[in-house]
Chain A
Amino acid sequence: MSYRIMIIDDEKIVGDMAKLSLEQEGYEVETFLSGAPALQRLREQKFDVVVTDLKMKGIDGLEVLRTVKELSPETKVIMITAFANLNVAIEAIKADVNDFFPKPVKIKELKESIKKALQK
Chain B
Amino acid sequence: MGTFSEMVRSIFRKLEGRPGGFAKRLDLKEAFRLYKEVLESNNRALMVITDMGEKLGGDFIFDINYVRKAYADLSADIRGSIERFDLLTGGRHDAAGAFNRVDSLIRAMVYGTAPASGKLVVFYDDISWDMVRDVGGKNYHLSELRNMLGLKVPEAFALTGAAYDAYMEHNGIRQMLTAGDAADTEGGLETIREAVAAGEFPPGLDRAIGEAVATVARRAGGGGSLAVRSSAEEEDGDLSFAGQFMTVLNVPLEKEAVKEAYRKVVASLFAPGALQYQKQHGYAAGSLRMPVGCVLMVDARSSGVLYTADPVGGREESLLINAAWGLGSTVVDGRTDADLFIVGKKPALHLEEARIGEKQLMAVAAEGGGTKEVETPPEMRSKPSLSEEDALELASIALEIERYYKRPQDVEWARGADGGMSILQSRPLVAAAAPAGPAPGRDELKEALARYPVLMSNRGRVVQKGVAGGKVFVVKNAADLDHFPRGAVLVAKHDSPQYVRVMPYAAAIITDTGAPTSHMASICREFRVPAVVNAGVATQSLAHGQEITLSAEEDGSATVYAGLAEELLQVQAANSRSMEDLYEFRRKRYLMRYISPLNLINPLVDEFTAEKCRTMHDILRFIHEKAVQALVDASVHAEGHAAFKRLDLPIPAGIHVIDIGGGLVEGKGEKVSVEEVTSLPLRAIVKGMMHPGAWHTEPVSLGMRDFLSSMVRMQEPAQEQAGFAGNNIAVVSREYMNLTLRFGYHFNLVDCFCSERAGNNHVYFRFVGGATDITKRSRRIRLIEEILREYGFISTTKGDLIIARLSHVGRDEILDILEKSGRLIAFTRQLDAVLDSDSDVERFKRNFLEDKYELAD
Cα A24 to Cα B581 with chains together (Å): 14
A58 CB within 8 Å of chain B:
no
Q: Which listed residue (B63, B578, B581) contacts A14, Cβ 8 A?
A: B63
A116 CB within 8 Å of chain B:
no
A108 CB within 8 Å of chain B:
yes
Please judge, given known A-B contacts A20-B581, A24-B578, whether A106 and B60 are in contact too, CB under 8 Å.
Answer: yes
How far does the Cβ of A105 sit from chain B's closest Cβ, in whole Å?
5
Please judge, given known A-B contacts A104-B55, A108-B554, A110-B61, whether A20 and B578 are in contact too, CB under 8 Å.
Answer: yes
Asked whether, in the complex, the Cβ of A17 is within 8 Å of the Cβ of B66, the reply is no
Q: Which listed residue (A82, A106, A107) contacts B65, Cβ 8 A?
A: A82
Asked whether, in the complex, the Cβ of A9 is within 8 Å of the Cβ of B582, the reply is no
Interface majority SS on A: helix, strand, loop or mixed? Answer: helix
Asked whether, in the complex, the Cβ of A12 is within 8 Å of the Cβ of B55, the reply is no
Contacts of A104 in B (CB 8 A): 55, 60-63, 66
Asked whether, in the complex, the Cβ of B63 is within 8 Å of the Cβ of A107, the reply is no
Cα A118 to Cα B579 with chains together (Å): 25
Cα A106 to Cα B556 with chains together (Å): 14
Asked whether, in the complex, the Cβ of B64 is within 8 Å of the Cβ of A11, the reply is yes
Q: Which listed residue (A20, A24, A103, A110) contacts B62, Cβ 8 A?
A: A103
Cα A17 to Cα B60 with chains together (Å): 9
B59 CB within 8 Å of chain A:
yes
Closest to B574 in A: A24
Of A21, A104, A110, most B-chain CB atoms within 10 Å:
A104
Asked whether, in the complex, the Cβ of A107 is within 8 Å of the Cβ of B584, the reply is no
Asked whether, in the complex, the Cβ of A107 is within 8 Å of the Cβ of B581, the reply is no
How far does the Cβ of B32 sit from chain A's closest Cβ, in whole Å?
38
Cα A18 to Cα B59 with chains together (Å): 10
Number of B residues near A (Cβ < 8 Å) is: 18
How far does the Cβ of B59 sit from chain A's closest Cβ, in whole Å?
6
Within 8 A of A (CB), among B553-605: 554, 575, 578-579, 581-582, 584-585, 588
A13 CB within 8 Å of chain B:
yes
Asked whether, in the complex, the Cβ of B61 is within 8 Å of the Cβ of A107, the reply is yes
Asked whether, in the complex, the Cβ of B582 is within 8 Å of the Cβ of A20, the reply is yes
Closest to A17 in B: B61
Cα A20 to Cα B64 with chains together (Å): 19
Asked whether, in the complex, the Cβ of B582 is within 8 Å of the Cβ of A13, the reply is yes
Please judge, given known A-B contacts A104-B62, A110-B61, whether A16 and B554 are in contact too, CB under 8 Å.
Answer: no
Q: Which listed residue (A13, A14, A108) contacts B59, Cβ 8 A?
A: A108
Asked whether, in the complex, the Cβ of B62 is within 8 Å of the Cβ of A16, the reply is no
Asked whether, in the complex, the Cβ of B66 is within 8 Å of the Cβ of A107, the reply is no
Asked whether, in the complex, the Cβ of A106 is within 8 Å of the Cβ of B582, the reply is no
Asked whether, in the complex, the Cβ of B63 is within 8 Å of the Cβ of A9, the reply is yes
Instruction: Report the interface size class on chain A.
Output: 20 to 34
Cα A103 to Cα B60 with chains together (Å): 8
Contacts of A24 in B (CB 8 A): 575, 578
How far does the Cβ of B87 sit from chain A's closest Cβ, in whole Å?
36
Contacts of A110 in B (CB 8 A): 61
Within 8 A of B (CB), among A4-42: 9, 11-14, 16-18, 20-21, 24
Contacts of B588 in A (CB 8 A): 13
Cα A83 to Cα B172 with chains together (Å): 47
Asked whether, in the complex, the Cβ of A103 is within 8 Å of the Cβ of B579, the reply is no
Q: Which listed residue (B59, B63, B578) contacts A11, Cβ 8 A?
A: B63
Contacts of B582 in A (CB 8 A): 13, 16-17, 20
How far does the Cβ of A10 sit from chain B's closest Cβ, in whole Å?
9
Cα A80 to Cα B62 with chains together (Å): 10
Closest to A10 in B: B63
Contacts of A103 in B (CB 8 A): 61-63, 65-66
Please judge, given known A-B contacts A13-B582, A13-B588, whether A105 and B65 are in contact too, CB under 8 Å.
Answer: no
Asked whether, in the complex, the Cβ of B61 is within 8 Å of the Cβ of A12, the reply is no
Asked whether, in the complex, the Cβ of B59 is within 8 Å of the Cβ of A106, the reply is yes
How far does the Cβ of A17 sit from chain B's closest Cβ, in whole Å?
5
Of A16, A17, A82, A106, most B-chain CB atoms within 10 Å:
A17
Asked whether, in the complex, the Cβ of A20 is within 8 Å of the Cβ of B579, the reply is yes
Q: Which listed residue (A9, A11, A105) contacts B60, Cβ 8 A?
A: A105
Asked whether, in the complex, the Cβ of A16 is within 8 Å of the Cβ of B66, the reply is no
Q: Write the residues of chain A forming the contact surface with B, with a CB cutoff of 8 angstroms.
A: 9, 11-14, 16-18, 20-21, 24, 80, 82, 103-108, 110
> 13 A–B contact pairs at CB < 8 A?
A12-B584, A13-B61, A13-B582, A13-B584, A17-B584, A20-B581, A24-B575, A80-B61, A103-B62, A104-B55, A104-B61, A106-B60, A107-B60
Closest 7 CB pairs of A and B: A104-B62, A13-B584, A104-B60, A82-B65, A105-B61, A11-B63, A17-B61
